[in-house]
Structure 1
């Protein structure tokens, strides 16, 4: 799941760039836990050969640097970055493929993966030149307080979207788990997803979120990744167990599928399911009203950029090229997992796949033990992940509002409760997880992948002229980011308006 994966990331927001002007030399900047130079008068080769700005005499000035030696190996860094990339977005990829077709989805998936890697390249190069290993501090160095606020708000929105997606899984999956143990519980309050989200938040997530030190919860990143690998294996297995179309049209099983797939939880305005031969034929290019959600879903799934710089700092014998290698391997592994999960989920249910893939299996495998284990594992992982994701949001809000004040349990509790209340409101009142993926992917994810890395690069990397190939590429990437964000948001808002004006039987959630 997307979450802070290093201790540095958990504490990074306690550093205030404004307080780092005490040095007589204005070209130095204090970045916890090391001091690094602002100036970009040295080359990338120098910085990399010296393991990211250690104590050396560079040019005319000797920079006093408290060099923090990282201790994370290449393999462990790959694992940690894979945890940061992997998130609940994998559950929506089959839905994206169903509304783009296999060929178009693969093109978009490859494009977003390459763009994400390019933005990592820009971010790492900017960190070397700008001398900061925190996303918000790069924003402050590039554009002052507006830059810091843009980075902080984008990360906060992304994390709130991640928390919402985790709670959506609780809303969708926990009722199914309870119904598997309770007979005739369909109409009971304890099988209502909205009530269950509130109960889980109040009795499990809130107490854990109020802890000052999350400690062991940081290890849930490994559990989350293992759960998703297990989920992928089950998706592949179930593809070969479920024929399409189902034998015996009009059977009780088909009626159950139609009833569950069109439940108000997943499809508030859905119509009858048609499991015909044609609906089971894979499509390679699809364009409909839901196609606009594909790119936001993919960008949401690949966002890991706030974790890149803290992992860079923790990398043993670090250099920009070594960290880029970590990113290349991690993105390749996640690309393969995403493609397999999307493809086999789509081939199993075709046009009837839901925005949250795991919920789709409830129609066919209501008492399947293997899927029940998957649900329990995923529910445990996402529930324990929410406090970890909330931690940096609360730290950022506290730092922006009360940076100079001592710790207060009252303020700590109020911020936590407000954040959880807002997240629960999103989960309860927004009808489908697709809208969260779409909105956050089109706004915050586009900012973190496209706009901010390229803008920071253009501003902070002084040694390259604006006519250089690197700066021209970064400028084009910046413009592409604005195009993706504005275009996706416009189309999504138009889809919302059309859905709101459509009659209940005129809209089937894009199917």
Structure 2
């Protein structure tokens, strides 16, 4: 009975129930739309930590981790959806319930709620960090002015942008902004490459900059796991796919992961080549505050984050709906609009309040990736597939799931130990509100003029 009460229809997973087949058809996503939705849910705040990951792991090991985590992500995404089809379910929660029973289900519920919630927190941190510098440069008002304070910006963006966007019930409606968001990311990368060329002589090279491997491999793996974590959105996007099949889903997954891996690698290398061992958890914090080009990029990236925010909010809200309001699911009824609005408001304002107190993006990325993303992405999916597969454990079809499971478990255990042993180190690396030492009032480069931030404001 417990399993039957938790099974959702495809329309309930996507958040809207159509009155007819024609209307349902209109709400489904094409391969292209689904791919850009998937890319948009992967490329979020985590991409800003890619140079930091290379700094922690070393250039060689860091790039190897890029490839490994990308492969594990693609493999685990496919086995998760395949496990759902084997179980006859269409949500991550139901798949885990069928495979692992109530204990596994409640572990998943906790992880699946906490990961996107902390991701939303990181989005607000970026919005507050980036937009304060943009407004200060544009307006020239004193730094203590209310309209340029980090707290005011977070509250205003929540009320005017992220909350209204999060009220949409169907993620298919965000396909166009997902494409726009991806184009903005490409624009930011072009700017990073250009600034690397023009700012090359200004940033000194640290002695340990180009070491092949360093001791921060576990931290780097956590950041990368956060970056590639998308499993909580897998069934939402899979069920929104027109004529959803495993073959069509594989095409979406392969394309999306390859694109995201390439974008992340270029982003990470571009930032690390310039800032090497000075790379921060938020790459945009490395650039000087009077850098007009990068202020434009800060603005564009903030827009991208504003578009990505609703994707994570959808998942957080669905976890609450699926866990606490199961009577509607039994009757095959859509979620009441009043409850939909109430839950969205509670989530957005809870995230907003907490983000007023937390300022360090690097800590949010590494800890969230280690504690929550790793088990969600690389532990539970292979376990579910192995438990639901009719094949024997030692069969060839279980080789990849077992490899992903072993590596994912090792990453998770080592990451938890590392996080608690070096928790204070994360906050010491946070640079919010401080300009980097190489940004002096006398240093300029093409496209830049004027004094540094503290002198001007």
**TM category, shorter:** 0.7 to 0.9
d(CA) in 2 for partners of 1:498, 1:73: 45
d(CA) in 2 for partners of 1:498, 1:374: 29
Q: 1:325-361 CA deviation, whole Å, 9 max, x = no partner?
A: 3322222221111111100111112222221112222
Higher helix share: 2
Quick check: 1:339 aligned with 2:265? yes
Match of 2:282 in 1: 356
d(CA) in 2 for partners of 1:150, 1:358: 35
Residue 378 and residue 282 in structure 1: after superposition, are their counterparts in 2 closer, same or farther (change >3 A)?
A: same
Q: 1:165-184 CA deviation, whole Å, 9 max, x = no partner?
A: 21111111111111112225
Residue 286 and residue 190 in structure 1: after superposition, are their counterparts in 2 closer, same or farther (change >3 A)?
A: farther
Residue 412 and residue 84 in structure 1: after superposition, are their counterparts in 2 closer, same or farther (change >3 A)?
A: closer
Residue 316 and residue 216 in structure 1: after superposition, are their counterparts in 2 closer, same or farther (change >3 A)?
A: closer
Pick aligned residue for 2:253 from 311, 319, 327: 327
Residue 497 and residue 242 in structure 1: after superposition, are their counterparts in 2 closer, same or farther (change >3 A)?
A: closer
Alignment of 1:296-307 (within 5 A): 296-307=222-233
The normalised TM-score by structure 2 is 0.79
Secondary structure, aligned partner of 1:430: coil
Pick aligned residue for 2:4 from 11, 18, 27: 18
1:442 Cα offset (Å): 0.9
Pick aligned residue for 1:143 from 77, 100, 122: 100
Residue 177 and residue 129 in structure 1: after superposition, are their counterparts in 2 closer, same or farther (change >3 A)?
A: same
Match of 1:59 in 2: none
d(CA) in 1 for partners of 2:321, 2:240: 25
Quick check: 1:456 aligned with 2:384? yes
Do the aligned partners of 1:70 and 1:317 also contact (CA within 8 Å) in 2? no
Where do 5+ consecutive residues of structure 1 fail to align?
1-15, 21-28, 35-66, 247-274
Match of 2:327 in 1: 404
Match of 2:211 in 1: 284
Residue 144 and residue 172 in structure 1: after superposition, are their counterparts in 2 closer, same or farther (change >3 A)?
A: same
Of 205-214 and 231-240, more deviation after overlay is shown by: 205-214
1:395 Cα offset (Å): 3.2
Match of 1:10 in 2: none
Do the aligned partners of 1:292 and 1:492 also contact (CA within 8 Å) in 2? no
Q: 1:369-397 CA deviation, whole Å, 9 max, x = no partner?
A: x3333222222332343244323322321
1:231 Cα offset (Å): 0.9
Where do 5+ consecutive residues of structure 2 fail to align?
13-23, 437-457
1:149 Cα offset (Å): 3.0
d(CA) in 2 for partners of 1:442, 1:468: 30
d(CA) in 1 for partners of 2:224, 2:176: 26
- Larger Rg: 1 or 2? 1
1:197 Cα offset (Å): 1.4
The normalised TM-score by structure 1 is 0.71
Alignment of 1:4-43 (within 5 A): 17-19=3-5, 31-32=9-10
Secondary structure, aligned partner of 2:287: helix
Pick aligned residue for 1:235 from 188, 192, 211: 192
Of 191-200 and 305-314, more deviation after overlay is shown by: 305-314
Match of 1:250 in 2: none
Match of 2:418 in 1: 491
RMSD over aligned Cα, in angstroms?
A: 3.4
Pick aligned residue for 2:312 from 364, 367, 389: 389
d(CA) in 1 for partners of 2:425, 2:270: 31
d(CA) in 2 for partners of 1:500, 1:226: 32
Do the aligned partners of 1:218 and 1:388 also contact (CA within 8 Å) in 2? no
Match of 1:482 in 2: 409
